[in-house]
Structure 1
Amino acid sequence: MDELPIGRRVAYWRGRRKMSQQVFADRLGKSKSWVDKVERGVRRLDKFSVLYEIADILQMDVQLLLGKDPERRADALNCIDQVEVQEIRAALERYDSMSAYFDAAPYPPPLDDMRKAVNHAWLTYQYGRYGMLTRALPKLLRDAQAADAAYDGEHAAEAAHLLGQVYQIASSVLRKLGECELAWLAADRSMAVAQRADDPLLAGIATTRVCNALVAMGRARPALELNVQIANRLAPGSSEVSPAQLSVYGMLLLQGAMAASRIGDSASVDDLINGAAEAAARLGGDHNHYWTSFGPTNVELHRAAAAVELGDGGRAVEVHQLRIVEPAFNALLPERRAHHLLDIARGYAQIGDVANAGEALLRGDRLAASEIRCRPIAHEVMSDILRRTRGAPPSPIAELAEHMGVGV
């Protein structure tokens, strides 16, 4: 790619962004003929002002357009750009099931292929590879929607189940990357589909996604009420209960606790986390039923996270140091561990220990770089660390800050 003339690079990236020459010319304020000549190398691109304008329209780094190594940016490799956001939005706004009601259903992808693709997407998320996931999501959403619209009879419930999972994956990664309204839309779609899939546990996990999005949008109280309401409906009785039900029930309680921490309701936080701890003890270990990573270790991670949200960084650090067993923690998937280390970095920052806060970010970055480099809350922590560090920050911190796009 680097050896291509600049006009060919413009044509390549214009094609990647799915823009016609006319659309590109209109956005640039030039004629289609001008664009065609630039792309064929007949006309030179020698004005930096025009180059920067082209790079802005193509949503890319101008250095990459010039065939050089791009400047380090938070969204250059691991995160999401606005073109991808719009593609995901377009996929979420499709109504294949309604079209299929009036017309013949589209030819669907085989359900075996869909199962593999959905499982791969979950693992991509739980390994913290958000950039890879967001690039794959538009097609995955379209395929899952087509399957849900086309399959009927004995396959209808499974197709709906797979679509519900894809919506949940989309909601989770979009919330982490700061696209809260789209995260809520995807989660809301997931709840509706879960009802058609006739799976109360899928609906329960969909509820946690909705509530997470509500919390991110500043609506913690309705999120708390909804989590508790659905948790009560799925509460296990004294008789034998499935591990999956215990996991979903426990996650509803944990997400309720996180919502309660946002409104400073420490009593509810304690009650809900203790209830989740009872479910985890009954489960007997850390598992990944319904992609929850639920178990005793995850309960302690949420205990620390809730303490941070309540402003009690000291308590969060205490939980981290005394209550989390290292072998069990190390057995969790990278996203969970990196997320916890980000929470602990916040806890250390709250008690003024910027050195350990920075070390926690570095550890999280080594586990799942996107969890640290892409999340807005991580940028806030890094800015706080840099502001409170006396003199020049240690070189590993300065380098990570540069990767994150946070000014030193």
Structure 2
Amino acid sequence: MQELHRDEVPLIYARLSRQDRRRRKGPWQMAEIHSEARRIGEAIRQARVLRRRSQKDVAAALGYHQSKVSRLEGGRGTEDIRVLRAIAQELRIPPEQLGLAAVRDAATADPEAEEMHRRTFLAASIAALATPATPTAAHDDLVQALLPGLGPANTGAPVDTTVLRERVGAARRLFYTCDYVELERALPGLIADLRLASSGVVDSDVLSALLATTYQTSTSLLLKQHDQGNAWLAVGRAMAEAERSGDPVVLASSVRVQAHVLAREKHTTQAVTLVRHTADQLTGSYDRRSPKYLAAVGLLLLRGVTAASGAGDRAATEEFLAEAKEVARYVSLDRADAWANFSPTNVALHELSALVAFGDSGLALQAARPLMRRHIPVPERRAALWVEAARAYSQQGRLSDGYQAVRIAETCAAQDVRRPAVRDLVADMAARDRRRTLPELHHFSRQLGAPA
């Protein structure tokens, strides 16, 4: 597959005439607009630094990508009143400092008056809006299966432990091949059959382990769908079954998804602490551990990388990465299986993701280039590579390359590209293409249900 990056030759984007844009604004007015925008951006940056918040953290709290906060601090995109008011509330900035009208109650604010106030300094624009996903019957069935009580009816399939183990493995493969639609259909019946089987006295520990793995898969799927509320329900059940199984590997995997939920809910410090505490009890003596054990520990450490980088903690990120690389010396499993998706390649992918989280887009693209030439057999990981590359391109303002990277991710895993996080990325890039020099990007954004 041909690479998208260009080392020496910059991208040449089509230019639109600036005459029409400036027809109603003289040079003095344009200078005033840019000066005010830079002042607002600096006010946002100072408030964020004062509160020791990272761009990533603030963006996540508001439901945006980090690049949006970065652009605001650079004086770009400051014409969007809704974004400014949201960030003022998040960082406790007096509205007047951002050129907003002071209001005692947000519900009593006069949007039209505020818009006129802002137009004194800034031009109008359109904010990117993502269409929320509509709950499906399959989603409702999955949530119902997670609730206490009898749960859904079992499928009538054999409840033999061997058969159930194969079905759990098949469910995990559906996740890593990004067939989320089929997975959502399969999980409720699988959970029902496992719960029925685990109510007996035969193989109770093994069945608890399988049920914990199924709940872990449910948690991961719900997080892909940005359904954090029900993800908490699923991970609680995963932890309970993992403890019943008495298997440290299953418990480590349940802790990993619990840390994922914590990090997604902005409890990154707690997520890092949880991963570190659990990993301290499992790391070491790698030459005497089974591949399954090592993969579980390695994946747990990689979750620590994600949580720490999301918190802006470079030291913790480097510690988790170093330990994960050490584990990867002893095991390399690149298969779409419950335990077999840990390898040096997966470690490198998480290192790339961390660089993007820190805003180190140049280093991120350097890390991505050798991975683009590497065979990555797991579709979910292949898609992750190109999505992270798209984020890095976007951070550099290379919207055309970012768009192409997302389209390559789509060829790897079409359903993965339609999850909310990627839709938001595409909408964000489209919103930044104000001259609409990339009509294919805007068309793709509309296809994803996230028009800008």
Please indicate the TM-score interval, normalised by the length of the shorter structure: 0.7 to 0.9
Q: Check if 1:403 corresponds to 2:447.
A: yes
CA distance in 2, matches of 1:243, 1:325: 26
Match of 2:420 among 361, 376, 394: 376
Aligned to 2:430: 386
Cα shift at 1:259: 0.7
Aligned to 1:152: 201
CA distance in 1, matches of 2:431, 2:353: 23
Secondary structure (helix, strand or coil) at the match of 2:321 reads: helix
Q: Contact 2:349–2:385 (CA<8 Å) still a contact in 1?
A: yes
Secondary structure (helix, strand or coil) at the match of 1:311 reads: coil
Cα shift at 1:325: 6.5
1:263-278 to structure 2, matched below 5 A, reads 263-278=311-326
Cα shift at 1:309: 1.6
Deviates more, 1:160-169 or 1:110-119: 110-119
Q: Check if 1:237 corresponds to 2:311.
A: no
Equivalent residue letter for 2:164:
M
User: Across the two proteins, how many residue pairs are aligned to each other?
Assistant: 319
Match of 1:86 among 140, 154, 158: 140
Match of 1:357 among 381, 402, 418: 402
CA distance in 2, matches of 1:83, 1:238: 45
1:4-403 to structure 2, matched below 5 A, reads 81-95=135-149, 109-149=159-199, 151-153=200-202, 155-237=203-285, 239-284=287-332, 286=334, 290-322=338-370, 324=371, 326-327=373-374, 330-373=375-418, 375-389=419-433, 391-392=435-436, 394=438, 396-403=440-447
After superposition, the C-alpha distances for 1:263-311 in whole angstroms (9 at most, x for unaligned) are: 1101111111011011112225646674351110000000011111222
CA distance in 1, matches of 2:449, 2:245: 42
Greater relative contact order (CA < 8 Å, ≥ 6 in sequence): 2
Secondary structure (helix, strand or coil) at the match of 2:278 reads: helix
CA distance in 2, matches of 1:287, 1:119: 11
CA distance in 2, matches of 1:84, 1:290: 22
CA distance in 2, matches of 1:205, 1:268: 20
Secondary structure (helix, strand or coil) at the match of 1:291 reads: coil
Secondary structure (helix, strand or coil) at the match of 2:451 reads: coil
CA distance in 2, matches of 1:321, 1:217: 31
Secondary structure (helix, strand or coil) at the match of 1:208 reads: helix
Cα shift at 1:110: 2.8
Equivalent residue letter for 1:348:
Y
CA distance in 2, matches of 1:379, 1:193: 34
Structure 1 alignment gaps of length 5 or more:
1-72, 98-105
Cα shift at 1:192: 1.3
**Alignment RMSD, CA only?**
2.5
CA distance in 2, matches of 1:265, 1:320: 21
User: 1:293/1:181 Cα in 2 relative to 1: closer, same or farther (>3 Å)?
Assistant: same
Cα shift at 1:368: 0.7
Equivalent residue letter for 1:397:
L
CA distance in 2, matches of 1:312, 1:238: 32
CA distance in 2, matches of 1:177, 1:218: 17
Secondary structure (helix, strand or coil) at the match of 1:283 reads: coil
CA distance in 2, matches of 1:379, 1:168: 24
Q: Contact 1:287–1:295 (CA<8 Å) still a contact in 2?
A: no
Provide the TM-score with structure 2 as the length reference: 0.66
Cα shift at 1:211: 0.6
Equivalent residue letter for 2:311:
I
Equivalent residue letter for 1:389:
D
User: 1:284/1:137 Cα in 2 relative to 1: closer, same or farther (>3 Å)?
Assistant: closer
Equivalent residue letter for 1:335:
E
Cα shift at 1:314: 2.0
CA distance in 2, matches of 1:166, 1:358: 34
Cα shift at 1:82: 4.5
CA distance in 2, matches of 1:346, 1:125: 23
User: 1:148/1:393 Cα in 2 relative to 1: closer, same or farther (>3 Å)?
Assistant: farther
CA distance in 2, matches of 1:284, 1:107: 34
Secondary structure (helix, strand or coil) at the match of 1:226 reads: helix
CA distance in 2, matches of 1:214, 1:238: 28
Cα shift at 1:251: 1.3
Q: Contact 1:386–1:393 (CA<8 Å) still a contact in 2?
A: no
Provide the TM-score with structure 1 as the length reference: 0.72
Secondary structure (helix, strand or coil) at the match of 1:282 reads: coil
CA distance in 1, matches of 2:366, 2:146: 42
Deviates more, 1:297-306 or 1:380-389: 380-389
Aligned to 2:72: none
